[in-house]
Structure 1
Amino acid sequence: MNLTFYGNTCYIRNLTVDDAEEMVQLLVRNREYWAVYEPRHQDSYFTAMVQREKIRESIYQARENREYSFGIFEHESNKMIGHISIYGIKRLPFLSALVGYSIDEACVGKGIATEAVQLVVAFGFEQLHLHRIEAYVSPRNIGSIRVLEKSSFLKEGLLREFLYINGVWEDHFQYALLEGEF
């Protein structure tokens, strides 16, 4: 199943095992940059073998309608510049999911992450028929907070000591967008 959604600055496409090498390059380029807000990974995570397996698992999860993982690509070069997922999909009585994303440090501040979030949100509401999409973000991650707020997500609260990142329990804001607000 090929899912591709086009925006003005980027497009998102579901990942295939052929994307593993390019995913590794993206991960390696951003290893230190992303580690500020995400748990550090073992060296084996940054290998094509592990990324192929992660992509295979995401393909299985998509078939089961539980998760959809996309690469974020530049229009001109078709280069992978990030990744975004809609995951933790719950059916009635919830009809909800989570969105998570990371953008290449070299592409920050260009509106690409905002557009990718808007594309995946449209997919969630229009094709998956969700009622609610949530996102968790570190209070220190001002750029990601801006992405969510530009995408009409509303801050609903603070999740205290929510995520264990690099030896420290970190608080996170919970943001959400409802189908009727989309």
Structure 2
Amino acid sequence: MVFLEGNRCYLRTLEEADVSAFTRLVKRNKRYWSIYEPLHDDEYYTESTQRKKIIESVQRMRLNREYSFAIFAMGTSDLVGHISIYSIKRLPFSSAFVGYSIDKRYIGQGIASEALALIVKFSFEDLSMHRIEAYVSPNNMGSVRVLEKSGFEREGLLRKLLYINGYWEDHYLYAFINDDY
């Protein structure tokens, strides 16, 4: 288990015991999150599916391929989001992607920015990553601000990258290089 602590939130790698709380988070934000990511079929929002996803993430963590964290509001056991460092590639790339989702009830409280800062620190200092990348919809101004505030730089526009709810959507590519950390 990996534990990372900030001022507004703390992160802990997801484990199977989180399945009920995590499934409630995913269900509660089904429509909100589907604005910028694909809406899944009903089976996705079940404990069975989320348990499988958590077990797979734990297996990938053991192989140093992914670290999936639950985000908790500081001083509580309230699971308020999820953040992952994934698709970890070693040399010659030494890179990974980061992705995150915050409960709509906690948007605008600085939790996403702090969680991302904790992941950047962990990625560069503990995993020795050289580059962290993120995709973001140009329409997701909140997430664009989080990335830019955290030191990520926009490197380009990836045209029609992701199929979301019936449409191919453009995404920006952002990156944070260890040299700039």
TM over 0.5: yes
- Alpha-carbon distance between aligned partners in 2 of 1:117 and 1:71, rounded to the nearest angstrom: 12
- Alpha-carbon distance between aligned partners in 1 of 2:48 and 2:159, rounded to the nearest angstrom: 35
- Is the counterpart of residue 117 in structure 1 residue 116 in structure 2? yes
For residues 117-148 of structure 1, give each alpha carbon's deviation from its aligned partner in whole angstroms, at most 9, with x where no partner exists. Answer: 01011111001100000000000000000000
- Alpha-carbon distance between aligned partners in 1 of 2:173 and 2:23, rounded to the nearest angstrom: 29
Matches within 5 A, 1:1-182: 2-182=1-181
Letter in 2 for 1:83: H
Shift of 1:64: 0.7
Percent of paired sites with the same residue: 56
Q: Which runs of 5+ in 2 are unaligned?
A: none
Structure 1 length as normaliser, TM-score?
A: 0.98
- Alpha-carbon distance between aligned partners in 1 of 2:50 and 2:16, rounded to the nearest angstrom: 8
Task: Name which of structure 1's ranges 13-22 and 69-78 shifts more when overlaid on structure 2.
Answer: 69-78
Letter in 1 for 2:168: W
Shift of 1:77: 1.9
Shift of 1:150: 0.6
Shift of 1:78: 1.3
Shift of 1:28: 1.1
For residues 78-127 of structure 1, give each alpha carbon's deviation from its aligned partner in whole angstroms, at most 9, with x where no partner exists. Answer: 11000000001001100000000000001001100000001011111001
Shift of 1:76: 2.3
Letter in 2 for 1:127: D
- Alpha-carbon distance between aligned partners in 2 of 1:76 and 1:115, rounded to the nearest angstrom: 15
Letter in 1 for 2:116: V
Aligned-residue CA RMSD (Å): 0.6
